[in-house]
Structure 1
């Protein structure tokens, strides 16, 4: 019984160190895969393109002509070119494209009139812009 109580914390510690070591090796592999032209996401959620890789830092282009320096450990993920393009340019991947919907011939067009609630229309209980005023 006492042996089980002593072994459980030791096993838990070994498992924690093992998973941490695995994460460190994955990060090391990702950092060695960094190359100019690759799209990346930083730990802060910033998407950028790698311009240059130095010993400790990476130069990232966050906008056309705007280059910043980040530590290699600030890179959370190296993205596939298609995924990076879809995120930056707003293009869905081919398998995510919506199916074209058939339009109904007898459907009436809907007016695209923005709903607004101004002070005057709220006092009058204007039907067009808002709800009747409560008193």
Structure 2
């Protein structure tokens, strides 16, 4: 019984860390993966590096993004941070 009481603060800390840090991060990662899976041609996107453009073509692992001046750049699908639409 004494051992359980002495370990209870450590167990409580792990529970708090799980609900405040780990669980929200997992939830955010799930949302990002879903957003990247739902990409469609014509979506306005922002990459991790801050590049803004429109999706021109989509492959399984890559996305071709067209800039405002017509330049086309290829990015990994995982480098897409946000969809503006």
**Bin of the TM-score, shorter chain as denominator length:** 0.7 to 0.9
Deviation at 1:46, TM superposition (A): 1.4
| 2:72 maps to 1:67 | yes
Q: Which has the higher contact order (CA 8 A, sep 6+)?
A: 2
The one of 24, 38, 43 aligned to 2:43: 38
For residue 52 of structure 2, what is the aligned residue in structure 1? 47
Q: The residue matched to 1:55 in structure 2 has which SS? A: coil
Aligned CA-pair RMSD:
1.6
Gaps of 5+ in 2: none
The number of aligned residues is 80
More strand by share: 2
- After TM superposition, which residue ranges in structure 1, 4 or more long, deviate above 3 angstroms? none
1:47-73 Cα distance to aligned partner (Å, 9 max, x none): 100001111111100133311111112
Gaps of 5+ in 1: 81-135
1:78-101 Cα distance to aligned partner (Å, 9 max, x none): 012xxxxxxxxxxxxxxxxxxxxx
State the TM-score, normalized to the length of structure 1.
Answer: 0.53
1:87-129 Cα distance to aligned partner (Å, 9 max, x none): xxxxxxxxxxxxxxxxxxxxxxxxxxxxxxxxxxxxxxxxxxx
State the TM-score, normalized to the length of structure 2.
Answer: 0.80
